[in-house]
Amino acid sequence: MTNGHPNREEDFELYALGALEGDEKREFEAHMASCSDCARKLAEARGRVALLALTAPQLEPSAAVKKRLMQQVRQERSRFDPANAPGKAEREEGYFGNWWAGILVPTTIVLAIISGVLWTENQNLDRRLAELRTDLQQQQQQFQESREVADLITARDTMIVPLAAQRGMPKGAAHVMYNEKMGMLMYEGELDAAPANKTYQLWLVPASGKPISAGVFTPGADKSSHFMMKVPEGVKPAAFAVTLEPAGGEPQPTGPKVLVGAVS
């Protein structure tokens, strides 16, 4: 029991089947008396057990099974009621043989198996549901990004700034789309791979003040890069530049300019 609650979901079915014993059973019953949520789960488990008991087929056990069962019954009854005569136990054997061994024993086994299967299926469903939630969140994020790209491209006040390669630097070309009101920036371009332990960093150079980092990136195998960034709204750019910086980028530009584009 964890914080009083059963550790295993199948404990409800096992209790309903009478399979819990000793301290485990007493703790379970004490908790049921004070926890409405667990009491509801127990009621549901009892309903499932009752339903499955009604639908279970009546099976006729073998003579050996009957004999072993009745031996156990007689031994248990003798422990609690020594006055029982053998003849009475034999008469009861016919009664138990008709329904106890024929229904309850196989039904209990079937229910235990089904309870285990249901618990396993429930765990699988929970995992699948978690995966679906993750997929949905990813799809929602992708949809939001696609909508932001569409809004940025179609907005009349979005500016497009070409970036030209600088002499002696890695070859490439790119452009930046920027919307001041939306506070959004999109970079698209191609560049040769950066030298070892170096990375490219895009900067928004405002009309006044220090450059603002707009993202660190590494070109893919096809030398292309594409990303969007949110930048402070209301910033008026004078230019955009890509510099070569130590891996991970820097708070302010320290390396040579690779691509530069002035805002006209």
Q: What's 238's domain CATH number? A: 2.60.40
Please identify which residue in the block is written with the tokens 């003579």.
63
Residue 165 corresponds to which amino acid?
Answer: A
Q: Are residues 244 and 172 in the same domain?
A: yes
35 and 134 part of one domain: yes
Over 80: is that where the pLDDT of 87 sits? no
Domain assignment present for 1:
no
Residue 107 near residue 53 (C-beta atoms within 8 A): yes
Q: Which of 148, 182, 207 is the last residue of a domain?
A: 148
**pTM, entire model:** 0.49
pLDDT at 4 over 60: yes
Domain boundary among 113, 148, 183: 148
Per-residue pLDDT averaged across 52-59, rounded? 56
Q: Specify whether 97 is located in the same domain as 174.
A: no
Question: Residue 77 pLDDT more than 50?
Answer: yes
Instruction: Judge if 75 and 111 occupy the same domain.
Output: yes
**Is position 55 within any domain?**
yes
Tell me the residue range of the domain where 56 lies: 11-148
Q: What is the mean pLDDT of residues 129-142?
A: 84
Cα separation, 122 vs 45, in Å, equals: 14
- Looking at the fold, whether 64 and 112 belong to one and the same domain comes out as yes
Q: How many domains does the chain have?
A: 2
Return mean pLDDT, the chain: 79
Average pLDDT over residues 3-11: 72
- Domain stops at, among 105, 120, 148: 148
- On whether both 192 and 252 belong to a single domain, the answer is yes
Q: Which residue has the higher pLDDT, 161 or 129?
A: 161
Is the model more confident about 252 or about 135?
252
Question: Among 132, 38, 58, 51, which residue's Cα sits nearest to residue 102?
Answer: 58
